[in-house]
Amino acid sequence: MTTLTVTSRGQVTFRKEVLQHLGIRPGEQIELDLLPDGRGVIRAARPAGSITGFIGLLSDRTNKIASLEEMDAAAAAGWAGEE
């Protein structure tokens, strides 16, 4: 268990190993859920994905442009367990 000290200003500094365990890097945010029994749950704040962030995700990864028929065939082969 890690014990943290609260300053007179109500601030807490997390130790490096705690931040590493949570996967939090400098500049990132932390979420704190307060539970009714006086406990809190802390985790790294991860932004929700959006369609805007998804569009162009694979751009510049290949020079080949597949037709809709080729994409359908590749998806069907993937579902069938073929490569």
| Assigned domain for 1 exists | yes
| Assigned domain for 5 exists | yes
pLDDT computed for residue 1 by the predictor: 80
The H or E element that residue 69 is part of is helix 68-79
Task: Give tens-digit pLDDT for 26-54.
Answer: 889 999 999 999 999 999 988 777 777 67
pLDDT computed for residue 63 by the predictor: 77
| Assigned domain for 60 exists | no
| Assigned domain for 17 exists | yes
Other beta carbons less than 10 A from residue 11's beta carbon: 8
CATH code of residue 3: 2.10.260.10
Q: How many domains does the chain have?
A: 1
- Residue 3 structural domain: 1-47
pLDDT computed for residue 83 by the predictor: 67
Query: pTM for this one?
Result: 0.50
Nearest alpha-carbon partner for 42 in 53, 58, 28? 28
Half-sphere exposure (Cβ direction) of 59: Cα atoms closer than 13 Å: 5
| Assigned domain for 55 exists | no
Q: Which amino acid is at 41?
A: V
| Assigned domain for 57 exists | no
pLDDT computed for residue 66 by the predictor: 84
| Assigned domain for 4 exists | yes
- Which residues, other chains included, contact 67 with Cβ-Cβ below 8 Å and sequence gap of 6+? none
